[in-house]
Amino acid sequence: MIFSTVAQTYNSTNIRTLLSSRDTTVGAKLKAISNRDSQRNRITLSFLNRF
């Protein structure tokens, strides 16, 4: 279940990156969101690596 959440977050980050290349003002906000998501992914992955 945690793995699928990480995969979903990764996919949504890719979609946001594609959106951000199209429109600069909205894209800047979306890029900030996707950066935050990738940080959360790293935390989740480091948590999973403990097991």
Q: What is the pLDDT of residues 3-30, one digit of tens each?
A: 566 566 666 666 666 665 555 666 667 6
C-alpha Rg value of the chain to the nearest Å: 12
CB distance 34 to 17 below 8 Å: yes
Q: Check pLDDT > 70 for residue 37.
A: yes
pLDDT the model gives residue 35: 73
Mention every residue, 6+ apart, whose C-beta is less than 8 A from residue 48.
2, 3, 6
Quick one: pLDDT band at residue 38, thresholds 50, 70, 90? Answer: confident
What are the residue ranges spanned by the domains of the chain? 1-6+19-51
pLDDT at 24: 60
pLDDT tens for residues 40-49? 777 676 777 7
Q: What is the largest CA-CA distance in the chain?
A: 41
